[in-house]
Structure 1
Amino acid sequence: MNHSQLPIKKLLLNCDMGESLGQWSMGMDEQVMPLVDMANIACGFHASDPVTMTRTVLLAKHSKTQIGAHPSYPDLIGFGRRSMQCSPLEIISMVQYQIGALDGICRAHDARVEYVKPHGALYNDMMRDADILRAVLEAITSYDSNLPLMVLASTDNRKTESIAAEFGIKLLFEAYADRAYENNGQLRPRTQEGAVYHSEQQILEQALLLATEGIVISRNGQRLKLDADTLCVHGDNAEAVKAVRHIRNSFNKLYRS
């Protein structure tokens, strides 16, 4: 693969952070934080607690990493990966509650929430159900209409853009370095085999292809065009951190050229 051409767009790296809970440790935030541009910080509903949130905010502030609220369904047992039947008012309220919790900690430490990225099942449900997306957008616009919403980049972003335009909310489209894509541009469900890549080389190749050509190869070999602003990476084990470091180094070289 030839990566010598100039990148079509500078992709920012984002990573889920602050997902420890009490004595239970999750992720390698201290190692990953300096390598990424955006930290999606859990707000207590799928993971995290006030002390973990505070520590993660301070890590992000020290690394000059953007802070994003990472709200989810109230599902600590299922790590926010199970869909829940919630009314629009319930979704609006729970998203505002979680943004507000993180925002309060940020304010106490002279930092600020800069965007919102829903987690897990709420994120997936938002992308497939326009009513849930509208509830999330309503939560954001009535809290702070300057906060962008991070959503999944697809082969056609126009439908999501048109709904966000109803609320005057800016969107940040994201792609994934370590997830398999179906032919329709959607992520392969985690419940299916091969949904998550573990090969460092495969992850790096997908990241570079997205950075240089805005392309991802589906599981069946189709070249899918994705117009993304940010690339999601994960740092929950030593091998994942190593992959993120290689992506960071490769992107630094690309953007210097």
Structure 2
Amino acid sequence: MASNSTPVAQAFKDVGVSLNCDMGEGYYRWRLGPDEDLFPLIDFANIACGMHAGDHATMLRMVRLAKKHGVGIGAHPGLDDVKGFGRRKLDITPEEVYSLALYQLGALKAMVDAEGATLSHVKPHGAFYFILRDDEAACRAFMKAHLSLTPNGPPLPYVGLAGTTHEKVCAELGIPFVPEIFVDIDYSAEKTLLSVPMSNPATVEGISKKMTSILKDYTTIDKQGKPLELPETRGYYTVCLHSDMPTALDNARAARAAVDAAKK
């Protein structure tokens, strides 16, 4: 079993409450989110690896921007579904999960290495994330690819949902696990994370309200607006933001302001 003691995992612990954001989700000349403006507001970037979104030029640009702003560089592999933006659930075997993850993780790592930077974490995108949450065989296949990133050293952290298959498989394989909370998409009353299409549209007011509640007593609200307790963490966690939201920049500003105020 691999060791959990890794300086890279310590980066999340040192920040305590961090902000991560899905970045580089345009395609060649078409840019989706306000990436350049978001980098100064976040701690960790999840860089699209060319399947659900992104391409070689965009990936390299994101790596360089992350390095410039001192932002952690995470791999954000998705399903092979550009038209559906990786948010449509596809039938995929464990072996396909493994090769799909291996292909994308290897591509980003090559760029990170070439730029003299370091990968900070791995976080799957969209429907891929939910497939791994709900299918243990698929999750184990993904983690096999994840572990291949550091064959001679401790594994990179995996960012995922506490109390789910994500955390269970990471614990069994010795992969550092970073719990993730969402504020621009919803949870059901049963504490199940909902996809973007199933969630209410995000608003700046909603982001601020959720962040304040999370930082105060680790509670949020469900899709119906009722109070909701979140799964326990180890004292540190990361809050996810989506760069493709219409209010992405304002969402990030609201989340950053809440975190900074709580740390004063």
- Normalised to the residue count of structure 2, the TM-score between the two structures is 0.86
Percentage of identical aligned residues: 35
Residue 207 of structure 2, aligned match among 198, 203, 206: 203
Note if 1:41 corresponds to 2:22: no
Q: CA distance change for structure 1 residues 239 and 74 in 2, over 3 Å: closer, same or farther? A: closer
Deviation string 1:148-175 (CA, Å, 9 cap, x unpaired) is 111123xxx2764332222111111111
User: Number of aligned pairs?
Assistant: 243
The residue correspondences of 1:105-254 to structure 2 (distance < 5 A) are 105-144=111-150, 145-153=154-162, 157=163, 160-192=166-198, 195-220=199-224, 221-227=226-232, 229-236=237-244, 239-254=247-262
Q: In the aligned structure 1, how far is the partner of 2:118 from the partner of 2:129?
A: 22
Deviation, structure 1 residue 248: 0.9
Letter in 1 for 2:158: L
Letter in 1 for 2:205: Q
Q: CA distance change for structure 1 residues 127 and 25 in 2, over 3 Å: closer, same or farther? A: same
Structure 1 stretch 113-122 or stretch 84-93: which is displaced more?
84-93
Q: In the aligned structure 1, how far is the partner of 2:242 from the partner of 2:109?
A: 23
Deviation string 1:80-126 (CA, Å, 9 cap, x unpaired) is 11222222121111111111101111111111211110001110111
Letter in 2 for 1:202: G
Q: In the aligned structure 2, how far is the partner of 1:107 from the partner of 1:31?
A: 25
- Normalised to the residue count of structure 1, the TM-score between the two structures is 0.88
Gaps of 5+ in 2: 1-14
The alignment's C-alpha RMSD in Å is: 1.9
Deviation string 1:186-223 (CA, Å, 9 cap, x unpaired) is 1234343xx13432111111012112211122234142
The residue correspondences of 1:81-120 to structure 2 (distance < 5 A) are 81-120=87-126
Q: In the aligned structure 1, how far is the partner of 2:244 from the partner of 2:23?
A: 9
Residue 60 of structure 2, aligned match among 46, 54, 58: 54
Structure 1 stretch 11-20 or stretch 231-240: which is displaced more?
231-240
Deviation string 1:1-54 (CA, Å, 9 cap, x unpaired) is xxxxxxxx9311000001111121110000001100000000001111111011
Q: In the aligned structure 1, how far is the partner of 2:121 from the partner of 2:115?
A: 17
Q: CA distance change for structure 1 residues 31 and 210 in 2, over 3 Å: closer, same or farther? A: same
Gaps of 5+ in 1: 1-8
Q: In the aligned structure 2, how far is the partner of 1:106 from the partner of 1:116?
A: 13
What corresponds to 1:69 in structure 2?
Answer: 75
Q: In the aligned structure 2, how far is the partner of 1:19 from the partner of 1:240?
A: 13
